[in-house]
Amino acid sequence: MAHARIIAFVMYNKKWIYPLVVMALLAAVLLPILLTGYSAIDRAEIEFAAQNYLSAAQQYQYAALLLPWRGDLWEKAGISAYAGGNYSDAVNFLNHAPELTEQGWIATGHSYIRINDLTSALRVYQQGLQFHDSAYLYAGLAYIYREQKDWLAERDALKNQLRLDPGNANAHYRLGLLLTILDPEQALSELMIASSLNPEVDSAVQTLRAALNLSAIEPDPSQQMLTIGRALGLVQEWDLSIAAFEKATQFNAENAEAWAWFGEAKQQSGQDGSVELDRALSLDHTSAIVRALRALHWNRQEKYDQMLAEYLIAARNDPTNPAWQASIGDAHFKLGDLAAALTAYQRATELAPNESTYWRLLAVFCAENGVQVEAVGLPAAQQAVRLAPDDPFALDVLGWSYLSSGRYASAEQTLADVIVRFPDHYPAHIHLAMTHLAQGNRGAAYNILTYVRDADQSGIYRLAAEQLLEQYFP
């Protein structure tokens, strides 16, 4: 009877008992999934806080799969993968997110850049800006346009970036650079702001400032762009200098020097440039500048006969310029004619007896090649220092000349003084190490060489230090 009553009760109340049963079954299935998913989120947050970003990305991904209604977890997984340097996974995770925060859009764009998909990065930045008026997104947009050499679009992106982040020195500097070729009258104000915010760019700003002031009084627009292009080259902005020189040739297709500099800028950027150099020569075969820039081209090709020929013509057409004589000396040296090279370097000092640079170049040539160090090289180094007593390059070559002439005590004292005054002048460190080796002081030499090897970020002197370490401390 009791069993029958239970059955009767269930049958009578099945409308609400069945749902309870179903809910109980669902809870039995879903509760472990929920607990596992939220546990994965907790572990992800712990890993992220510990900067274990890739582990955090895995935990967020796992949680996102278990908790599909938590679309934000895909963004968290993507941001974690981006922070950990796994940009492919970052893109994959972030593209799963139903919506993105500003940080998510930024991470997506940057990740595409890292995997060299600039087209997708551009699309992401443009889409992100529809939702977020973000300086960081505009900065990414400016970067893409810079890579595409779309200067007008880059300028506009930088202006928007600075609208939101007016204290960004790098953006002011870059905008100033762009304006030198797009709107020179507006360039200087941006460059001066950059210099006030970041003194490290002041030297470049002063170079550009001088060029802008000079170009402003030049009535010929082709010459204006030529002046600006040369300044951009001096501050190693060769892509923009190409644009400046191209504009110069467009203003005046007969401007031979503009064509020559156009070719040089292309070569500095890894392009050929020979067509422009040939065009320059066809327009003016007597220009010393055209000849000198063509000589640089032949130097890169290691065709030193042609290099020498170009410099000889430049010197013939501009006989009072000591730079051509020094360059002739370099060409003779590369051809193995040390006697002719010495004569050319000496001729440069005769043309510019009050300029330390040419005395220094003469001294370097003598010290480097062991040519008349006593009679010519050492006196030249001493004269270079007299003319420029605070020039670390002149002081260094004086110490090097003492070393080459066997005056080890004088070399050690001079080079040690240079290092004290100019601790980042690595050539002096190298020459002091060589002096210690000549004196048999291997320990001191080793310490100096390892210091240069570890400290030189440019790599130029690090390589010299490594070679000496390999030779003397195998």
Which one, of 109, 247, 159, 137, lies nearest residue 174 by Cα?
159
Half-sphere exposure of 68 (CA within 13 A, CB side): 1
Whether residue 136 is predicted with pLDDT greater than 70 in this model: the reply is yes
Within 10 Å of residue 138's Cβ, how many Cβ atoms?
A: 24
Q: What does the alpha-carbon distance between residue 122 and residue 127 come to, in Å, rounded to a whole number?
A: 9
Higher pLDDT, 396 or 21: 396
Q: Which of 1-15, 242-256, 460-474 has the lowest mean pLDDT?
A: 1-15
Average pLDDT over residues 245-250: 97
Q: What does the alpha-carbon distance between residue 122 and residue 336 come to, in Å, rounded to a whole number?
A: 53
Question: What's the pLDDT score for residue 61?
Answer: 83
Give the three-state DSSP class for 302.
coil
Give pLDDT tens digits for 287-316.
999 999 999 999 999 999 999 999 999 999
Question: What's the pLDDT score for residue 41?
Answer: 80
Give the three-state DSSP class for 307.
helix
Q: Which of 341-355, 391-405, 453-467 has the lowest mean pLDDT?
A: 453-467
Residue with tokens 């893409």: 144
Whether residue 64 is predicted with pLDDT greater than 70 in this model: the reply is yes
pLDDT tier at 6, thresholds 50, 70, 90: very low
pLDDT tier at 195, thresholds 50, 70, 90: very high
pLDDT tier at 460, thresholds 50, 70, 90: confident
pLDDT tier at 11, thresholds 50, 70, 90: low
Average pLDDT over residues 66-75: 82
Average pLDDT over residues 115-124: 95
Token pair of 242 as six digits: 């190409």
Q: What does the alpha-carbon distance between residue 245 and residue 439 come to, in Å, rounded to a whole number?
A: 53
Q: Which of 57-61, 81-85, 101-105, 417-421 has the lowest mean pLDDT?
A: 57-61
Residue with tokens 């977020």: 132
Question: What's the pLDDT score for residue 469?
Answer: 92
Q: What does the alpha-carbon distance between residue 456 and residue 462 come to, in Å, rounded to a whole number?
A: 6
Average pLDDT over residues 199-212: 94
Which one, of 465, 393, 403, 459, lies nearest residue 436 by Cα?
403
CB 416 within 8 A of CB 429: no
Question: What's the pLDDT score for residue 364?
Answer: 96
Average pLDDT over residues 421-439: 94
Question: What's the pLDDT score for residue 58?
Answer: 85
CB 222 within 8 A of CB 238: no
Question: What's the pLDDT score for residue 25?
Answer: 43
pTM of this structure:
0.83
Q: What does the alpha-carbon distance between residue 56 and residue 221 come to, in Å, rounded to a whole number?
A: 58
Within 10 Å of residue 120's Cβ, how many Cβ atoms?
A: 17
Q: What does the alpha-carbon distance between residue 261 and residue 244 come to, in Å, rounded to a whole number?
A: 10
CB 149 within 8 A of CB 239: yes
Question: What's the pLDDT score for residue 459?
Answer: 79
Residues 6+ apart with CB under 8 A from 254: 283
Give the three-state DSSP class for 312.
helix
Token pair of 234 as six digits: 């001096």
Domains in the chain: ranges and CATH: 389-474 (1.25.40.10)
Whether residue 175 is predicted with pLDDT greater than 50 in this model: the reply is yes
Q: What does the alpha-carbon distance between residue 163 and residue 4 come to, in Å, rounded to a whole number?
A: 81
Give pLDDT tens digits for 13-46.
555 444 544 454 444 444 555 567 567 787 878 8
Question: What's the pLDDT score for residue 35?
Answer: 63
Give pLDDT tens digits for 374-395.
999 999 999 999 999 999 999 9
Question: What's the pLDDT score for residue 398?
Answer: 96
pLDDT tier at 9, thresholds 50, 70, 90: very low
Question: What's the pLDDT score for residue 53?
Answer: 86
Half-sphere exposure of 53 (CA within 13 A, CB side): 14
Mean pLDDT of the chain: 90
Within 10 Å of residue 83's Cβ, how many Cβ atoms?
A: 16
Token pair of 295 as six digits: 């000589």
Average pLDDT over residues 441-461: 90
311, 267, 248, 158: CA torsion to nearest 10: -140
